[in-house]
Amino acid sequence: MKQKQLIGALIGKFIKVVYSKNKSLIDVQGKVIDETEDTIIIQEGKKQIRIIKSQVKIKNENQNNWN
């Protein structure tokens, strides 16, 4: 059963791409300024980067890592 995602749940969060099929996206980080069902847009400095969610794994940098 596929989990339903909460669209917009990442807006305003600071995230980092930790894995991507597109190697140039690895370590991209910034504030999420927009989110759709399939994509997120990250503000990294002065540029905006559109990322396809299904092709990346991200880390929410706002959360503390307890492990």
- Helix, strand, coil percentages in the chain from 3-state DSSP, rounded to 5: 10, 45, 45
**Which pLDDT score is estimated for 3?**
52
For residue 1, is pLDDT > 50?
Answer: no
C-alpha span between 4 and 12 (Å, rounded): 20
For residues 22-38, give the mean pLDDT.
94
C-alpha span between 55 and 44 (Å, rounded): 19
Whole-structure pTM value: 0.77
